[in-house]
A = this chain, B = another copy of it.
Amino acid sequence: MALIVQKYGGSSVGSLDRIRQVASKIWEARQQGHQLVVVVSAMQGETDRLIQMANKLCPQPAAREYDALISTGEQVSAALLAISLNAKKCNAHSFTGQQIGIITDDFFTCARIQEVRTDLIRQELAQEQVVIVAGFQGIDSKGNITTLGRGGSDTTAVALAAALKADECQIYTDVDGVYTTDPRVLLEARLLDEICFDEMLEMASLGAKVLQMRSVELASQHHIPLRVLSSFHPGAGTLVTSEDKMIQKRSVSGIAISREEAVIAIAGVPNCAGVEGYIIGKISEAHIEIDMIAQHALARELIDFTFTVQRKDYVAAWNIARQLAQELGAASVVNNPKVAKLSIVGIGMRSQSGVAATMFQALGKVGIPIQMITTSEIKISAIIDEEYLERGVEVIHQAFELDKAPQTLAVEASPALSN
């Protein structure tokens, strides 16, 4: 008998029929003897309906009231799921964040969980109840209702799993799990059996939006095994776990993709201490988020400063860059507003040389020019023309044999994989 926290997203409870299906899934897990705490999102569309009403009354509704309003969506789906379970003679009680005692700070609309009380849940579990918790919400120390921001139900689930020291936290979504790359871009993308927290974080931040980042961080901190799986199809999904628990070995786990990027380079900037901070400062002041930065100035009097921004910010960033170039006496501003970012992610690359070479050679062989490179411990990112995106993913996927299942640890890593 395990203690499992399950989380069902908005599309998983998007209709009464789907709520019934979720109830069946829960009922099966109960039949296997597991103790269950179930976190639900609002029914798909419900939060938007509530937000629309608020916005019709006021374009910028008061944050405290906005949270009180939209938190009802999760309360509704939690109660409906409990009704559906009770109709199956399965004991279940629904609770709001307030009732459970999910205590957050008071940053309305994006609150952070500070404490999760577990006494009521333990009491209910001891009475053989399935405990259904409205996700995405809590109360601050004064008793005001708060919400955790988009994807907050994932965080609720992980925070509950951590507080309860659950055996596993299962995140049910509308995808089958985490893939080696976006299956819409590459048909050969393969479902990963497992991935480690750090890899998942890099994948998520690079645009593979399966899990909310905060929830992955939280699971990682508390060593809660996280499983991403589909509400609609059978299958064990992908287990996100600690590196030391991984039973498979590989250098690269997946390729993250980010479109809608733009690259800008200020070339020939006179090199003086603090110039980079000055440039970044000016762009940040305009509330433009910079993603990648590359600079090389080794023993040179003039430096090239290259960075990427989201494409929506491109024109504003370019204008600032041109002003900066004039001010700083730079030679020119070069740019490409239509680029994409390909990133290979894998904890294995820390200990394995040649990973970068394999990636760049794969792109080079098919004539895809690389416009910018940055690296971190478990990630290598390359900026390429967006038109080469699909082809680039394809050749890198092949180069790392991501379409094939990796070997388990029991077997010595093959020379091909360890490069």
B98 and A57: CB pair below 8 A? Answer: no
Contact with B along A115-127 (1 / 0, CB 8 A): 0000010000000
Residues of B within 8 A of A87 (CB): 57-58, 61-62
A52–chain B nearest beta-carbon distance, Å: 10
B16 and A53: CB pair below 8 A? Answer: yes
Residues of B within 8 A of A145 (CB): 96, 99
Contact of A99 among B53, B75, B143 (CB under 8 A): B143
Closest B residue to A70 by beta carbon equals B79
Residues of B within 8 A of A98 (CB): 96, 98-99
Identify which of residues 69-99 in chain A touch chain B, using a CB-to-CB cut-off of 8 Å.
Answer: 69, 71-72, 75-76, 78-80, 82-84, 86-87, 92-94, 96, 98-99
* Residue of A20, A87, A92, A93 ringed by the most chain B CB atoms within 10 A: A87
Q: Label chain A's interface by main secondary structure.
A: helix
The complex places the Cα of A16 from the Cα of B68 at a distance, in Å, of: 17
A13–chain B nearest beta-carbon distance, Å: 11
Residues of B within 8 A of A75 (CB): 68-69, 71-72, 75
Q: Is A65 an interface residue when CB atoms closer than 8 A count as contact?
A: yes
Closest B residue to A87 by beta carbon equals B58
Contact of A83 among B65, B79, B99 (CB under 8 A): B65
Q: Is A311 an interface residue when CB atoms closer than 8 A count as contact?
A: no
Residues of B within 8 A of A72 (CB): 72, 75-76, 79
B53 and A80: CB pair below 8 A? Answer: yes
Contact of A80 among B54, B76, B86, B96 (CB under 8 A): B54
Residues of B within 8 A of A16 (CB): 53, 56-57
Contact with B along A34-77 (1 / 0, CB 8 A): 00000000000000001001101110011011101101100110
Q: How many residues of A contact B (CB 8 A)?
A: 38
Residues of B within 8 A of A53 (CB): 16, 76, 80
* Residue of A20, A78, A92, A94 ringed by the most chain B CB atoms within 10 A: A94
Identify which of residues 1-37 in chain A touch chain B, using a CB-to-CB cut-off of 8 Å.
Answer: 16, 19-20
Contact of A69 among B68, B83, B92 (CB under 8 A): B83
A111–chain B nearest beta-carbon distance, Å: 16
B20 and A57: CB pair below 8 A? Answer: yes
A69 and B80: CB pair below 8 A? Answer: yes
The complex places the Cα of A19 from the Cα of B56 at a distance, in Å, of: 11
B61 and A69: CB pair below 8 A? Answer: no
B94 and A82: CB pair below 8 A? Answer: no
Residues of B within 8 A of A84 (CB): 57-58
B76 and A50: CB pair below 8 A? Answer: yes
Known A57-B16, A57-B19, A84-B57: A93·B64 in contact at CB below 8 Å: yes
Closest B residue to A142 by beta carbon equals B120
Provide a sorted-by-A list of 12 A–B residue pairs whose CB atoms are within 8 angstroms. A19-B57, A54-B79, A57-B87, A58-B84, A61-B86, A65-B80, A65-B82, A69-B80, A69-B83, A72-B76, A98-B99, A120-B143
For the A-B complex with A65-B92, A72-B76, A96-B145 known, give 19 more contacts whose Cβ atoms are closer than 8 Å: A50-B76, A53-B76, A54-B79, A57-B87, A61-B83, A61-B86, A62-B83, A62-B87, A64-B93, A65-B79, A65-B94, A68-B79, A68-B82, A68-B94, A69-B79, A72-B72, A96-B98, A98-B99, A99-B144
Which residues of A line the B interface, CB within 8 A?
Answer: 16, 19-20, 50, 53-54, 56-58, 61-62, 64-66, 68-69, 71-72, 75-76, 78-80, 82-84, 86-87, 92-94, 96, 98-99, 120, 143-145
